[in-house]
């Protein structure tokens, strides 16, 4: 029976780590590799935004399920450690977990805003060249800020996960 419990936990941790790799790795790639590369290319701002939106939508097909799995497996893993509610408020694990929860909420809000800013309607207007240059520049700036914020929050969540795992 013990081997099954150990294997179950190993599989859940593995799924959690794969999901974190997809979410964080993809976010870092988009924000640190692709976006700066597009800036250096001789594309118009519309073409850069079109490409980023297409890549972002494609990434979201695996990123959103990964984020949902991360949250689910994170809750499951935490409930194993938190045998009583007092642990949440009287231990470093609890303090780190609360911080992580706040960061996850901030991440979800940032992600939702990012999705809303680059809605299908906005994408269509960009494709049809219906947005003035000044607005495109503002839209591009918002995208950069939201993308960078997503990366920073995601990496911070990983840091707190490492602290929790280390038993600090």
CA distance 10 to 120: 40
Q: What is the C-alpha R_g of the chain?
A: 19
pLDDT tens per residue across span 132-157: 989 998 998 999 899 999 999 999 99
Q: What per-residue confidence (pLDDT) applies to 79?
A: 81
Apex CA 33: angle with CA 32 and CA 34, to 5°?
A: 115
Collect all residues with Cβ–Cβ distance below 8 Å to 90 and sequence separation of at least 6.
none
* 101 pLDDT more than 90: yes
CA angle 8, 9, 13 (to 5 degrees): 120
Checking if the pLDDT of 168 tops 80, the result is no
**Confidence tier at 86 by pLDDT (50, 70, 90):** confident
**Two tokens, residue 99:** 């911080």
Whether the CA torsion 11, 62, 151, 90 is positive or negative: it is negative
The per-residue pLDDT for range 109-125, each reduced to its tens digit, is 999 999 999 999 998 99
With a cut of 90, say whether residue 82 has pLDDT above it: no
Residue 127 has what pLDDT?
87
Q: Which two tokens stand for residue 163?
A: 């602290």
């Amino acid at each position: 029976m013990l081997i099954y419990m150990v294997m179950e936990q190993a599989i859940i941790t593995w799924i959690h780590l794969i999901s974190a790799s997809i979410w964080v790795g993809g976010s870092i790639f988009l924000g640190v590799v692709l976006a700066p590369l597009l800036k250096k290319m001789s594309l118009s701002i519309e073409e850069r935004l079109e490409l980023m939106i297409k890549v972002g939508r494609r990434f979201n097909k695996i990123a959103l399920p990964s984020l949902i799995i991360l949250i689910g497996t994170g809750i499951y893993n935490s409930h194993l450690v938190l045998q009583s509610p007092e642990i949440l408020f009287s231990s470093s694990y609890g303090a780190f977990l609360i911080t992580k929860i706040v960061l996850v909420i901030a991440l979800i809000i940032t992600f939702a805003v990012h999705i809303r800013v680059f809605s299908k309607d906005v994408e269509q207007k960009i494709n049809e060249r219906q947005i003035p240059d000044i607005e495109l520049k503002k839209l591009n700036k918002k995208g950069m800020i939201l993308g960078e914020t997503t990366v920073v929050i995601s990496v911070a969540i990983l840091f707190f996960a490492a602290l929790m795992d280390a038993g600090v």
